[in-house]
A and B are shown apart, each in its own frame.
Chain A
Amino acid sequence: MNTTARIVLLVIALVVLAPAAGMLILAMPAFGHPLSQYGDVVNALAPRLRNISNMVAAVNFDIRGIDTLGEECMLLAAVTGTVMLLRGHRGEDMSERAGRVPGRKQPSRSDATVLLCRFIATVLFLFGIYMVLHGTVTPGGGFQGGVIVASSFVLLYLGESYRAWRRIVLGPALAALEGTGALAYVLAAALPLLGGYAALQNVLPLGTWKDLFSGGLMVAVNYAVGCAVIGSFGVLLLEFMEETRAPENDPVPDEEDE
């Protein structure tokens, strides 16, 4: 079909849908008047039952923790899928050492860049770790902190050369971190079953309210998510960097060309 036909179809659909959407919007609960008591109940119960001060973390890691495990696995699937596709038929064969395109210039970094990157990367790394550690007390947590830690790797690449970066950032280690983090989350869900509790039951000591280590099992799960996210984003960066290297020696397999 050509563009006009497509637009005609779309317009017909929208014309039919408009009155239905209108009715729906008019029947919605008014703005600022949620019908659910969910938030109130969580705010009332979570500090009492779990000694936790960050309600978002309480919902994410404890009350609806199995959702978060699913979302964690989505990240895992997305990263694993990306890695599998980018590697294609290559497998892991070539990725042990840093490659170099013959003839490509490798400009050296200025001292200012190196200094600035080393400084900011360190601060960013520590800030990310801080973010992960405080997940159960203040906004942030494993997901956000993990991404920040992984972004410090990019600065390392910017400041050092690709070759040096590859020596610092080890692919298998990152993949292991990713898998171990996810496995720790699954174990946090599964191990309480052995003691006759529900899956993901918060069986660890809960700590004191507003303390860094309050929330019991949530602390462990939060760290696990942090590890998995650092690993995932690290692996992702590494694979994208690998892709920019010597594409002509490593063609995308294509049935038509074979």
Chain B
Amino acid sequence: MNPVQLLPVAVLLPLGLAALLLAIAHWLPPRLADGASVLASLGLVALCGWLAVQALHGPVVHWFGGWTPRVSGRPDVVLGIGFSADPMSAVVAAFCALLFALSFIFAWGYFDKIHAHFHVLMLLFMAAMIGFCLTRDLFNLFVWFELMSISAFALTAYPLGRSSLEGALNFTVTNALASFLMLAGVGLLYARTGTLDFLTMAKVIARIAPDPVITGGFVLVATALLTKAAIVPFHMWLADAHAVAPTPVSVIFSGIMVGLGLFGVLKLTAQVFAADAQVLAMVHGGLFALGIATALTGGLMAWAQRHLKRLLAFSTISHLGVMLTAVAAVSATGATGLLLYLIGHGLVKGALFMIAGILLARRNSVDELALHGQGRTLWPVGVVMAVAGLLLGGLPAGSMYAASDLIHESAHSVALMFVLIFAASLTGAAVLRAACRIFIGCSGAPGVEVTAPTERGREQADRPLWLMLLPCVLMIAIAVLPVDAVAPFMGRAAALLLQPDGNAATAIASDHVTLGSFFALALTLALLAASLMRERPTRRFARRVGRVERLPFDALQFLHSGLVTDYVAWMAIGVALLAAFLG
């Protein structure tokens, strides 16, 4: 078979398997659904990886139903829907499938009671993500975006306790609102350009830009994608949803779903709106500023958490901000950085959420203060968590480090680069602080995190430790692999996303270590030491310093109120901000 014939299989296989499992769920032995899902995901990793290599010589394009643009017989009228796999899209799709495979292994036996329904939803979720990566039709993109949301809503709310219901409701309201905005944006773009196909639309836009309807359409579509990607001020749903979702689902959310939103922004900007100077200016300036704000907000909030899942969720927000600055560059360097960061961060964060899941299953809590010293007998878990924390905080190894180098290159100034490093160090130090408290039992007096929201929880504990730890170890192992072997391919893939004709310059990522590359790590360790050696303030001056230190965190905590009405008001402010960036 040739790649063109196999391209639609990447979506049809998970959809078909989901339908089949649903049809026979009632009679199906539980282990069979687990096994079939893992095998299907691994098959998709292979398929999408192979497609990525095949697409190096030009995108692999498949027109559903044979409705190629030629059929209409008129220029600029595309009747059908096409899938187009460029190398970067296919790599991202393969990474989605990889995370799903590991997540299915972690969830082995977790969801026995609800038969195969968990697998059905996860497979639909995976199909939606892969479709989102591969489509070249704007409405089709919306369809996969929406399918992604709907399966995610239900997965978050399981098992429908009070807190999981609140988190899922915030998630549902904000993301459904985002979907409406996206649909409106797609409508505007279609009304003005008369087509939904990416390349045809790009041609029309090059002819008529600048045009208020095009710009407005972009703002609405970008708002939806940025909401999915949890960018300030659209980010507030993420911590609530991640904190309550079952662990295997959190892994997917933080690992790739939110990152896909950013990938969507980059792909649309590069492939559809590249000729619209107004849109490009907004992406370069406005989205960059939002990225910096997101990185800092997420970092500070992560530092001030004690509930491990919330801590990880805010750390995800922070790193999404870092990635958004790479997107805002719309350059080969930025795109290569984004691709590597997406993979590196996804692996590390996925592993960390699994560790939180292990603690939930074994210790019935993820509160770092309540679990003080209780992880000593689970020391292998602690080792993995420490490595993951170091990677978040800038350990000079693996794909995240190589990617940060490229991302910092596209930062506008040294000061802003320092902000990005500081934010990442905060998240790394927060994870390490929690690891030290839980697994070693060493701790200073608790700082700003002591007043953060927390609650008890638990997850099914009948799975062996090695089965839960195996996927974490695998993920961390892949995350620290040297990037030299894949760097040229990734650079080429990113360049082809920006310019399918292959004329873009290629950025080669490198993880060579110099003295300067230890700066981020040193900052992380300094922050960690500061928090572990902290003493209870006894003198009046120390208490006053403590109060001043609390102020920004209290303000941030106050804004993240957990009320969905607040979130919607902030979303409105966000849309207004994007409009204001346009001038």
Question: Interface residues, chain A, CB within 8 Å of chain B?
Answer: 1, 6, 9-10, 12-14, 16-17, 20-21, 23-24, 26-29, 34-38, 41-42, 45, 49, 62-67, 69-71, 73-74, 76-78, 80-92, 171-172, 175-176, 178-183, 185-187, 189-190, 193, 196-202, 252-256, 258
- Give chain B's interface residues, CB within 8 Å of chain A: 5, 8-9, 12, 15-16, 18-27, 62-67, 71-74, 77, 79-81, 113-115, 117-118, 120-121, 124-125, 127-128, 131, 139-140, 143-144, 146-147, 150-151, 153-155, 157-164, 188, 190-195, 211-213, 215-216, 455-458, 559, 561, 563, 565-566, 569-570, 572-573, 575-577, 579-580, 582
Chain B neighbourhood of A16, CB < 8 A: 576-577, 579-580
Given A69-B15, A70-B143: A23 in contact with B212 (beta carbons within 8 A): yes
Question: A94 → chain B, closest Cβ, in Å?
Answer: 12
Q: How far is the CB of A9 from chain B (nearest CB, A)?
A: 4
Query: What DSSP secondary structure best describes chain B's contact surface?
Result: helix
Contact in complex: A35, B26 (CB < 8 Å)? no
| Residues A12 and B113 in contact, CB atoms below 8 Å apart | no
Across-interface contacts of B65 in A (CB, < 8 A): 62-63, 65-66, 198-202
Query: If A70-B140, A85-B154 touch, does A28 touch B191 (CB 8 Å cutoff)?
Result: yes
A77-B147, A84-B117, A254-B161 known; A187+B575 contact, CB < 8 A:
no
Residues of A within 8 A of B456 (CB): 255-256
Q: Give every chain A residue within 8 A of B63 (Cβ-Cβ).
A: 198
Q: How far is the CA of A186 from the CA of B19 in the complex (A)?
A: 8
* A190 x B12 contact (CB < 8 A): yes
Task: Establish whether residues B162 and A193, one from each chain, have CB atoms under 8 Å apart when the complex forms.
Answer: no
Instruction: Indicate whether A29 sits within 8 Å of B192 (C-beta atoms), given known contacts A65-B64, A197-B66, A198-B65.
Output: yes
| Apart from the given pairs A27-B213, A88-B160, 9 other A-B contacts in the complex at a CB distance below 8 Å | A27-B211, A34-B194, A65-B65, A70-B143, A186-B19, A189-B8, A193-B5, A198-B64, A255-B164
Q: Which residues of A contact B213 (CB under 8 A)?
A: 24, 27-28
Q: Which interface residue of A23, A26, A82 has the most chain B CB atoms within 10 A? A: A23
Tell me which of B16, B114, B115, B212 contacts A27 (CB under 8 A): B212
Rounded to whole Å, the gap between the CB of A174 and the closest CB of chain B is 10
- Is there contact, CB below 8 Å, between A87 and B575? no
CB neighbours (8 Å) of B570 from chain A are 9
Q: Shortest Cβ distance from A225 into chain B, in angstroms?
A: 12
CA distance A88 to B195 in the complex (A): 44
> Given A20-B579, A193-B9, are A37 and B194 neighbors across the interface (CB < 8 Å)?
yes
Q: Which residues of A contact B576 (CB under 8 A)?
A: 12-14, 16-17
